[in-house]
Amino acid sequence: MRLRTFAAAALVLASFLRAAPLAAQASGTPDFKALLAAVDGRTNFRASDFSARLTLVSEDPSKGTETRSVRVFRRDRADTLLLLVLKPESELGQGYLRVDDSLWFYDPESRKFTHSSVKENFQGTDAKNSDFGLSSLAEDYAVAAHGEGRLGAHETWILDLKARHDETAYASRKVWITKKDGLLLKSEDYSLSGRLLRTAYYTSYARVGSSLICDRFTYVDALVAGKKTSVLMEEISLRPVPDEVFTKAYVERVNR
């Protein structure tokens, strides 16, 4: 159960990688919908494959600190994904493979794949369906209000987002986007009851090829004091991933 929980969390994170910047608009009040669409567009790598190594550090006041390492392969245009656990040693070789709308969990101990539908939710996690889909800020949220402000050294637009429909993960969000590059720097995610659930900080962007990709971000749980997860992304690559990576055979073989 714990393993699957972790893998599910990693999936969430993998999709949040998709939050990455593109060129900013000119001065004055920009077209916010276009700004959000740009944020969406840069997180979804439709033109190329994507791979990286993630290091996740989860701090939980009751469980202590846990560090994990995962390798991620993505091919967004086909909606396929592979996660391979590298650390801790005890979970080495576990894999999560998503192909053809199916999600397979591989356990090297039993050498078996267990099937679960993408539509399902992961027991024991807060992972939502929407977390697994492609980022769709522009489609799901309307800008209810906007303001400006500094966040650290950056001039940002501060947007209050309201859900356009009731099946988004959050009823409302508040996002900080740099004026200069259109980079998402921070997001506050609110419950239907209007309570802050978590704050996400996108603290570092790396240039990969021609685009900027967030390679360091932190989720801070707003309900449980001291609970947060930091993610560091290294070895980012947009080079083509061999087709065979997204197969069960590969998952089995790579673990041997």
Partner 1 sequence: MNQSMRIAFRNVGRQKKRTVLLAGAVGLGFFIITLSGSLLGGIAASARKNFSAAFGGHLYFSGSVVSDRGSEIAVMADPGPLESVLAAHARDIASIHRRSGTSGTLIFGTRELRQTLTGVDFGREPDFAGGLRIVSGSLDGLSEPGALVLPEDAAERLGVRTGEAVLFRASTVHGQRNVTELVLIATYEGQSSFGVSAGYAGLGTVNSLLGLGPEEFQTLNVWLRDDRAIDAAAGRILADLAGKVPVEPREDEDPMKRMAERLLGGSGPRSVGDGEGWEGTRYGLTTLNDLMAQFTSILSIADALSFWVFLILLSITMVGILNSYRMVMVERTAEIGTLRALGLQKGGVRDIFLWEALFVSLYGALAGLAAALAVMALSRAAVLPGGTVLSFFLDSGRLPFSVDPIETVRNLVLLCAASLAAVSFPARAAARLPPAAALRAAY
- Contact residues for partner 1 (CB under 8 A)? 60-62, 119-124, 126, 128-130, 163, 165-171, 189, 191-193, 195, 197, 223-227
Distance (Å, whole) CA 251 – CA 255: 7
Nearer to partner 1, 120 or 235 (CB): 120
CB atoms < 10 A from the CB of 215, how many? 21
CA dist 188 and 182 (Å) reads 17
Residues 6+ apart with CB under 8 A from 20: 39, 42, 43, 183, 184, 205, 211, 212, 213, 214
d(CA 217, CA 234): 12
- Identity of the residue, 92 or 224, whose beta carbon is nearer to partner 1 in the bound complex: 224
Both tokens of 117, joined, read 């539908």
Q: Whole-number minimum distance, CB 192 to partner 1, in Å? A: 4
CB of 98 to partner 1, least distance (A): 15
**CB-wise, 90 or 129, nearer to partner 1?**
129
Residue closer to partner 1, measured from CB, 11 or 171: 171
Least separation, in Å, of the C-beta of 225 and partner 1? 6
Whole-angstrom CA distances from 169 to 33, 64, 75, 76, 192 are 19, 27, 23, 21, 9
Q: Considering the complex, state which of residue 178 and residue 187 has its C-beta at the smaller distance from partner 1.
A: 187
Q: How far is the CB of 46 from partner 1 (least distance, A)?
A: 22
Q: How far is the CB of 243 from partner 1 (least distance, A)?
A: 28
Give me the half-sphere count of Cα atoms (radius 13 Å) on the Cβ side of residue 242. Answer: 4
* Smallest gap from residue 221 Cβ to partner 1 (A): 9
Q: In this complex, which beta carbon is closest to partner 1, that of residue 166 or of residue 244?
A: 166
How many angstroms separate the CA atoms of 220 and 229, rounded? 7
